[in-house]
Amino acid sequence: MSLLNRFGFIVFNSTGPECWDLVDLPDGGAFGMMSAAVILVPGETYSFYIPFDSEVTLANTTIDLVIDGSKSLAWAGIGTLTAINVQAGVKHYSAQINMVANTSNLLPVYYRFRLNVSGGSLYSNRVLLKKANYADTTALVSYRNTRPIGPIAYDLPALANFRNVLRVKCQIEASKTDASVEDYERITTGVKTTVEIKGHLFYSVKTPTIDPIGHEGWRTLLFHKDLLINNRPFALKTGYAEGEGTAKLATGSFEVWDLAYSAVNRC
């Protein structure tokens, strides 16, 4: 089957998506396990949208957590699915993942989410559980939009309060100032006279090495107007760009405006 929730950070198919499900190009054998963009942290809750294909029928609305590789059950009922009636005969779902319960028995390794569907299971791409040392290498992102984006019908009443919330790998560089000055030159003296000064802050965000699924997740996130990073409001300054690496494993970057800071002096 095709990837379910294509373009999101969390995608599904019957075997567990891999990078070559998106980009099956030679990369010199550089592909490795350091590919997951999404991080799970005990004590947090996450949510994301899943536009279901008409060919997929749920057996129940439970989301399970399984160990990558063996697909053995690690946590039954780590999440739930809530149906959203998009139109007659079409249902999408919002997924809620709850990491608040006791996670002491879970190892900090790679996992996958499992959906229980008629005739079998669907597995997500890899997610990585981290219990420590994540604050400087990940951020909690929360995003939504007012109008529909792709298959996500944000304008539906059922989605009025819905937000995508995930913890993702990234590193944010020091803030930079973007200043603009409007002035004119006096006719008689040639002296520059300032009319207006504006100042804004922006940040460069680097995404460590991730696979194409993670890159598509970032691209989709940056189409959203309402964006919070660690509960701070930001707006897109430059679009997402892949950096160094290969077709199956590469870095990325983009820039965002800090909406908590702006200054203007209309002299």
Q: How many CB atoms lie within 10 A of CB 263?
A: 11
CA distance 18 to 24: 10
Specify if 188 maps to a domain.
Answer: no
Specify if 51 maps to a domain.
Answer: yes
With residue 112 as reference, give the H or E element that holds it. Answer: strand 110-117
Specify if 120 maps to a domain.
Answer: yes
Specify if 4 maps to a domain.
Answer: no
3-class SS at 26? Answer: coil
Specify if 183 maps to a domain.
Answer: no
CA distance 48 to 65: 15
Specify if 7 maps to a domain.
Answer: no
The pLDDT value recorded for residue 60 is 95
The pLDDT value recorded for residue 264 is 87
The pLDDT value recorded for residue 183 is 86
Tokens encoding 163: 């937000």
The total of structural domains in the chain comes to 1
| Structural domain range at position 212 | 12-178+197-266
Q: How many CB atoms lie within 10 A of CB 134?
A: 17
Specify if 186 maps to a domain.
Answer: no
The pLDDT value recorded for residue 96 is 96
Tokens encoding 95: 């997924």
The pLDDT value recorded for residue 74 is 96
Q: Residues of the chain whose pLDDT is less than 70?
A: 1, 24-34
The pLDDT tens digits for 198-225 are 999 999 999 988 988 999 999 999 999 9
Specify if 254 maps to a domain.
Answer: yes
